[in-house]
Amino acid sequence: MSVLEQIKEFVIAGSAKKVKEYTEQAVAEGLDASTILNDGLITGMNVVGIRFKANEVYVPEVLMSARAMHTGLAVVKPLIVNAGIKEKGVVAIGTVQGDLHDIGKNLVIMMLEGAGYKVIDIGVDVSTEKFIQVIEEQQPQIVGVSALLTTTMTQMQHTVEKLQAYRDKIKIIIGGAPVTQAFADEIGADGYAADAASTVDLVQKLTSI
Ligand code: B12
C-alpha cells in the first residue's frame, strides 16, 4: 500500500498516531502538501462521510476520524503556511451558530494563511453578535461564514443579513458542503467557493477590487 493509501486508511480507522506517522513519512518522501491533503487526508474523510450517511459508522467513529485528520493537517500546515510571506489582508472566518463542523473551515484557514493572508479564526458555533464584535474590533476586509448542515443554512442567512450593515467595510464569503453559488446570490453574500483552493482565488479577487 502506498503512503497515501495508508494515510487514507488510517483516517478512516480513526488512528491519529498512525495518520501522524504516515503523513510525516509522506513529507519525508517529498510528496507535496496538496497531494497529501487531497489524495490522503481528504479522500479518507470523504469515505467516512459516505459511510456516515449510510449509517455504517456513527458520530464517535466520525469524531475519531476527524481527530486523526487534524493530526495530519498539523503535520502539513508548516508546508502550506509560509511564515515569511508579507500579509495581503485580513480575513475572519467562523462556523455559524448551531454548527460544530470545523475541518473544512480549518483547511480554508490553512490555505489562506499559505497565500499570505492574516486569518482570524472565530471558531465554531459563532453567533451573529460574535461575528459583529470581531468585525468591529479587528476590522477584517473579508468575513467568511461556514455551514455544514442544511439546518444551519438558515442561521447563515440570518448572519449574512445582519452583516449587510457593515457592507462598506467588508466583503462576505460563504461555504460548506450544502452551500451553493445560488444560495450565496439569494442571501446577498459577495462570494461562494466550493473548496479551500478556490477560496484563495475568491479572496484574491475580492481584495483586489
Ligand atoms: C466530520 C463530520 C462531523 C463531525 C465534525 C467534526 C469537526 N471537528 O468538524 C461530527 C461527528 C462532530 C459531526 C456531527 C454532526 N454531523 Co456531521 N459530518 C461530518 C462529515 C463526515 C465530514 C465533514 C467534513 O469535515 N468534510 C471535509 C471538509 C474538508 O469538507 P467541507 O467541510 O465541505 O469543507 C470544504 C468546503 O465546503 C469549503 N468550505 C468550508 N467552509 C467554508 C467557508 C467558506 C467561507 C468558504 C468560502 C468555503 C468553505 O472548503 C472546505 C475545504 O475544501 C460530513 C459528511 C460530508 N461528507 O460532508 C457530515 C455531515 C456534514 N454531518 C451531518 C450531520 C447530520 C451531523 C449531525 C447532525 C449528526 C448527529 N445526528 O448528531 C451532527 C451535528 C453537530 C453540529 N451541531 O454541528 C450531515 C449533514 C446533513 C445535512 N444536509 O444537513 C453530513 C452531510 C453527513 C450526512 N451525509 O448525513 N459531523
Atom of ligand 1 nearest to the CA of 62: 11
Residue 84: per-residue pLDDT = 46
What phi and psi values does residue 2 have, to the nearest 5 degrees? -70, 165
The alpha carbon dihedral of 67, 73, 75, 77 has a sign of negative
Per-state percent for the chain, helix, strand, coil, to nearest 5: 60, 15, 30
Grid cell at residue 86: 508579507
Give residue 201 CA to ligand 1 midpoint distance, Å: 23
* Most ligand 1 atoms within 8 A of CB, residue of 45, 51, 52 to mutate: 52
CB 91 near ligand 1, within 6 Å: no
Tens digit of pLDDT at every position of the chain (209 positions): 899 999 999 999 999 999 999 999 999 999 988 899 889 998 898 898 789 878 999 888 988 998 898 899 899 888 876 544 456 899 999 999 999 999 889 888 877 876 778 899 999 999 999 999 999 999 999 999 999 999 999 999 999 999 999 999 999 999 999 999 999 999 999 999 998 878 989 999 999 86
Global pTM?
0.84
pLDDT in tens, 169-183: 999 999 999 999 999
In the chain, where are the structural domains located?
3-80, 90-207
> Is ligand 1 within 6 A of the CB of residue 52?
yes
Q: Name the residue with the closest Cα to ligand 1, atom 88.
A: 53
**What is the structure's pLDDT at 82?**
56
pLDDT of residue 85: 45
Measure the CA–CA gap between 209 and 206, rounded to whole angstroms: 6
What pLDDT is stored for residue 5 in this prediction?
A: 97
Write out pLDDT tens, residues 135-148: 999 999 999 999 99
What's domain 3-80's superfamily in CATH? Methionine synthase domain (1.10.1240.10)
CA distance linking residue 113 with residue 109, whole number of Å: 6
- The fold of the 90-207 domain, in CATH, is Rossmann fold (3.40.50)
Q: Is 144 in the pocket of ligand 1 (CB under 6 A)?
A: yes
- Closest ligand 1 atom, residue 151 Cα: 84
